């Protein structure tokens, strides 16, 4: 059975359209309760700052209570906070109501198990099977209870600070932090300031509709301008749910997930603390692979999605991995991608070495890379003859100095066409030709 609702990062869609409706949320709560807490138990529910989060929080709460599951509500907190608190507060599983980097009129629902890890494909399929059953209400004596946990944010802040070396501080650093008007708008500035940094916050005034709007990791332009304007040492950009990180150096240059992964891996290698291979994805820049190879670091590629990076890290005994988008994993510090924790590890390397972010990134030469999104109405066969023939021609032209990746997005109705190589002109020309061919293929 393939998953119909779950994508690479939970369930996501436009609010009011299937599946992101109140009716579906209640049904999902019942199905999840049967799979993840069949004999009762507790679920932790957090959310980002979208106005629709209140609606889905109430629907899920009602569904779980009716199914006999106790509900702990923590309000707006980053996705990694929910992963941590699910385990810390002894819940059977956790839920985050968020559409991550999407605009405010989208929303989503994603799950963590009791150990703070994302659910397996098998468990997600089991939950989807349960959606066909009609929701029921337990006897009054067996109903769950709901309660708000007011100190949850403080617990998470303490955990984040504990991942920063105790013999270091952030004193002397001026940092601009952009929280995308999202879930990290309180905790990120507090943690950075508590460690001694001078903080200039932007994107920290959510109103329910401005999450990710011209700010955050997907729109870092304001951060780049602000860092240069205030002469900050670095800029930190989270996405709406606080699991993606990109940074900006003191010159206003963007530092993406691949470059940050290089800094993390190199820093640990030089400190003798790197375990196992480093894991990226099929979309990771070829320059990252070559730079790590020069350091004698094994690099592996997983399918796109931090859950698949996590699976490969665990299978091969690694602890550091991530995606170009800024989903970074430091498994000795957190069970899932955590933008704030990852930023603290980068800042610790800066403080330990005395090097600027631009100095730390300099040894990695990024290959020119073009990513084009081709919007489609229905699924198309990427293994079809015409597309595969076009890919073969592209690969011949790039020779051994480039790569071609075609993949369907797990969160949007688009086909992603990625081409990279040494010659930027050739890379763009090849990418545009492939995008034209993909756009003309009929749905499967």
List the catalytic residues: 100
- CATH number for region 11-150: 3.40.120.10
**Domain spans, the chain:** 11-150, 156-361, 369-440
Residue 169 has, within 13 A of its CA and on its CB side, a CA count of 8
Distance CA 202, CA 205 (A): 8
Whether CATH 1.10.260.40 fits 156-361? no
- CATH number for region 369-440: 3.30.310.50
Residue pair 178/216 in contact (Cβ under 8 Å)? The answer is yes
Query: Would you state the structure tokens that stand for residue 155, as one six-digit string?
Result: 């617990």
Residue pair 374/439 in contact (Cβ under 8 Å)? The answer is yes
Asked whether this chain's domains 11-150 and 156-361 adopt the same fold, the reply is yes
Q: What are the tens digits of pLDDT across the range 43-64?
A: 999 999 999 999 999 999 999 9
Q: What are the tens digits of pLDDT across the range 134-187?
A: 999 999 999 999 999 999 999 999 999 999 999 999 999 999 999 999 999 999
Regarding pTM above 0.85, the answer is: yes
Q: What are the tens digits of pLDDT across the range 257-278?
A: 999 999 999 999 999 999 999 9
Q: What are the tens digits of pLDDT across the range 282-308?
A: 989 999 999 999 999 999 999 988 889
Q: 187: closest CA among 204, 175, 170, 173?
A: 204
Supply the DSSP string of 317-386, one letter for each residue. Answer: T--EEE-TTSBEEETTT-SS--HHHHHHHHHHHHHHH---HHHHHTT-PPPPEEEEEEE-SS---TTSHH
Enumerate the H helices of 217-337 as residue ranges.
221-230, 257-270, 286-294, 306-316
Instruction: Say which residues have a Cβ less than 8 Å from residue 71's Cβ, sequence separation at least 6.
Output: 42, 43, 45, 60, 61, 64, 65, 144, 145, 146, 147
* Mode of pairing for the β-strands spanning 414-421 and 369-375: antiparallel
Distance CA 158, CA 228 (A): 31
């Amino acid at each position: 059975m393939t998953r119909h609702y779950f994508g690479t990062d939970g369930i996501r869609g436009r609010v009011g359209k299937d599946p992101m409706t109140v009716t579906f949320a209640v049904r999902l709560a019942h199905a999840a309760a049967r799979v993840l807490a069949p004999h009762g138990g507790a679920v932790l529910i957090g959310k980002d700052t979208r106005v629709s989060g209140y609606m889905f929080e109430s629907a899920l709460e009602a569904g779980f209570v009716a199914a006999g599951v106790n509900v702990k509500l923590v309000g707006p907190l980053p996705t990694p906070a929910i992963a941590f608190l699910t385990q810390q507060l002894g819940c059977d599983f956790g839920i985050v109501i968020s559409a991550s980097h999407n605009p405010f009129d989208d929303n989503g629902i994603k799950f963590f198990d009791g150990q703070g890890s994302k659910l397996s494909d098998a468990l997600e399929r089991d939950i989807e099977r349960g959606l066909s059953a009609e929701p029921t209400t337990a006897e009054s004596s067996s109903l769950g209870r709901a309660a708000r946990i007011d100190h949850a944010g403080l617990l998470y802040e303490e955990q984040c600070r504990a991942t920063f070396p105790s013999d270091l501080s952030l004193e002397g650093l001026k940092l601009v932090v952009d929280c995308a008007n999202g879930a990290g708008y309180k905790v990120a500035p507090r943690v950075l300031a508590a460690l001694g940094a001078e903080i200039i916050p932007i994107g920290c005034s959510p109103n329910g509709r401005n999450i990710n709007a011209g700010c955050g990791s997907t729109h870092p332009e304001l951060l780049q301008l602000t860092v240069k304007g205030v002469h900050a040492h670095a800029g930190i950009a989270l996405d709406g749910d606080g699991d993606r990180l990109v940074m900006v150096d003191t010159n206003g240059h963007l530092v993406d997930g691949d470059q940050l992964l290089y800094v993390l891996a190199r820093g640990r290698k030089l400190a003798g603390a790197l375990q196992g291979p480093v894991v990226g994805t099929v979309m990771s820049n070829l320059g990252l692979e070559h730079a790590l190879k020069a350091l004698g670091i094994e690099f592996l590629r997983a399918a796109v999605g931090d859950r698949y990076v996590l699976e490969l890290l665990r299978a091969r005994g690694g602890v550091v991995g991530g995606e170009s988008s800024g989903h970074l994993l430091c498994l000795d510090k957190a069970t899932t991608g955590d933008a704030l924790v990852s930023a603290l590890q980068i800042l610790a390397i800066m403080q330990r070495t005395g090097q600027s972010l631009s100095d730390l990134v300099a040894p990695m030469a990024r290959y020119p890379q073009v990513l084009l999104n081709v919007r489609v109405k229905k699924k198309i066969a990427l293994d079809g003859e015409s597309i595969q023939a076009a890919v073969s021609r592209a690969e011949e032209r790039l020779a051994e100095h480039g790569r071609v990746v075609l993949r369907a997005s797990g969160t949007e109705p688009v086909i992603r066409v990625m081409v990279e190589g040494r010659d930027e002109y050739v890379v763009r020309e090849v990418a545009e030709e492939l995008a034209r061919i993909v756009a003309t293929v009929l749905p499967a």
